[in-house]
């Protein structure tokens, strides 16, 4: 008899605990659009300013609010302060482009414990610290396109360098690793030699200095891959002023309009996509996460306004779509 009573009490306790958890989860789900705090790598980067216009467009369509706060220095430490500030402002979701995937993770997990959901865009964070990652294009695809573009410019033969942003930029480090593996395994690139990886530290001046430094350090240098929106235009201007552009070809990621004249004269190529759409997609995804319509599980779908339907892939990744190599023949397609 006592055994039956104890069993009944245990079952009742379990049921009450289950109801409590379900109730808590329901409370965490927003009933209406929330404020999304966008935290890019750097406040002055025009890339993120344009992405923000897409977020604001989406907010105008479905409600809520898109605010942007970002550091003046591209460091994880600076971003952590902004994470804490956004939590204190009681935003519903933080959308972050990380300067360091792992360094910001503890602060993001603390934010989640305080009821703030997290998504990443452009540059991912640790998967344990966010729900979904809104990626501009498949990382391997971007890396391969940059390497292919460099190959086209130097006829797949000769020395080239990479001028990345920071040593801790997760997306760029992944691209560089892929390029190294691709060169080692694909005979198409066997005559290309990567001589150095340098860093522009998300600074126009440092990128200019590094590009010129690479040209001086390697007299036979034929090209530089610059996978950073600030770095490629800055390096192109410096190399042009020094009379080196053309002798040394450049490619990478940057707003096409900022280097249009260099693309048109054949000195530079670019890999690019619709940046405004990345911000637009991120806002729609953030609201879906806030309302628990998306939990990060592979196979989930959601709709993002004029962009249509999207599916959550492995590890919570959502792809905006394919990028293109920007050349003289298609440069007019890109308005940023």
Q: What is the 3-state secondary structure (H, E, C) of 203-260?
A: CHHHHHHHHHHHHHHCCCEEEEEECCCCHHHHHHHHHHHCCCECCEEEEEECCHHHHH
Dist. CA 271–CA 284, nearest whole Å: 25
pLDDT of res. 26? 45
What is the radius of gyration, based on Cα positions, of the chain? 23
User: Mind listing the pLDDT tens digit for each residue in 245-280?
Assistant: 999 999 999 999 999 999 999 999 999 998 999 999
Please tell me the number of Cα atoms within 13 Å of 227 on its side-chain side: 29
Q: What are phi and psi of 114, to 5 degrees?
A: -95, 15
pLDDT of res. 41? 95
Which residues are within 8 A (CB) of 47 and not within 5 positions of it... i.e. 6 or more apart? 40, 122, 229, 230, 255, 275
Cα(first)–Cα(last) distance of the chain, in Å? 76
pLDDT of res. 47? 87
pLDDT of res. 333? 86
User: Mind listing the pLDDT tens digit for each residue in 298-323?
Assistant: 999 999 999 999 999 999 999 999 88
Structure tokens at 273: 């996509």
* DSSP code for 220: T
Contact 45, 295 (CB under 8 A): no
Dist. CA 257–CA 98, nearest whole Å: 25
pLDDT, average across residues 82-109 = 97
pLDDT of res. 5? 47
Model confidence band, residue 16 (pLDDT cutoffs 50, 70, 90): very low
**Three-state DSSP class for 40?**
coil
**Three-state DSSP class for 103?**
coil
User: Mind listing the pLDDT tens digit for each residue in 139-186?
Assistant: 799 999 999 999 999 999 999 999 999 998 888 999 999 999 999 999
| 12 pLDDT higher than 50 | no
pLDDT of res. 27? 56
Dist. CA 48–CA 39, nearest whole Å: 9
Contact 146, 225 (CB under 8 A): yes
Structure tokens at 280: 């637009």
pLDDT of res. 45? 87
pLDDT, average across residues 207-223 = 98
| 110 pLDDT higher than 90 | yes
| 15 pLDDT higher than 50 | no
User: Mind listing the pLDDT tens digit for each residue in 224-245?
Assistant: 999 988 999 999 999 999 999 9
């Amino acid at each position: 008899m006592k055994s039956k009573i104890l069993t009944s009490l245990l079952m009742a306790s379990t049921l009450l605990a289950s109801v409590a958890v379900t109730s808590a989860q329901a409370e965490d789900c927003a009933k209406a659009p929330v404020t999304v705090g966008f935290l890019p790598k750097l406040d002055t980067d025009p890339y993120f300013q344009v992405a923000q216009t897409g977020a604001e467009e989406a907010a105008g369509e479905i409600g809520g609010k898109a605010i942007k706060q970002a550091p003046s220095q591209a460091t994880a430490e600076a971003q952590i302060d902004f994470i804490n500030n956004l939590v204190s402002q009681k935003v519903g979701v933080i959308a972050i482009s990380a300067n360091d995937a792992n360094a910001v993770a503890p602060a993001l997990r603390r934010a989640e414990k305080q009821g703030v959901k997290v998504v990443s865009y452009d540059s991912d964070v640790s998967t344990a610290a966010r729900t979904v990652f809104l990626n501009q294009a498949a990382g391997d695809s971007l890396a391969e396109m940059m390497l292919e573009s460099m190959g086209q410019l130097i006829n797949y033969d000769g020395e080239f360098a990479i001028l990345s942003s920071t040593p801790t930029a997760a997306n760029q480090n992944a691209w560089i690793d892929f390029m190294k593996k691709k060169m080692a395994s694909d005979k198409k690139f066997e005559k290309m030699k990567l001589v150095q990886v340098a860093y522009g530290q998300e600074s126009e001046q440092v990128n200019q200095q590094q590009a010129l430094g690479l040209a001086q350090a390697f007299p036979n240098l034929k090209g530089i891959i610059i996978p950073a929106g600030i770095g490629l235009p800055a390096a192109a201007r410096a190399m042009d002023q020094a009379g080196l552009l053309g002798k040394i070809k450049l490619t990478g990621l940057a707003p096409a309009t900022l280097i249009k004249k260099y693309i048109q004269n054949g000195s530079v190529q670019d890999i690019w996509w619709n940046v405004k759409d990345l911000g637009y997609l991120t806002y729609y995804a953030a609201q879906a996460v806030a309302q628990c319509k998306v939990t990060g599980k592979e196979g989930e779908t959601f709709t993002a306004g004029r962009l249509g339907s999207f599916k959550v892939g492995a590890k919570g990744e959502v792809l905006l779509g394919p990028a293109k190599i920007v050349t003289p023949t298609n440069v007019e397609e890109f308005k940023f």
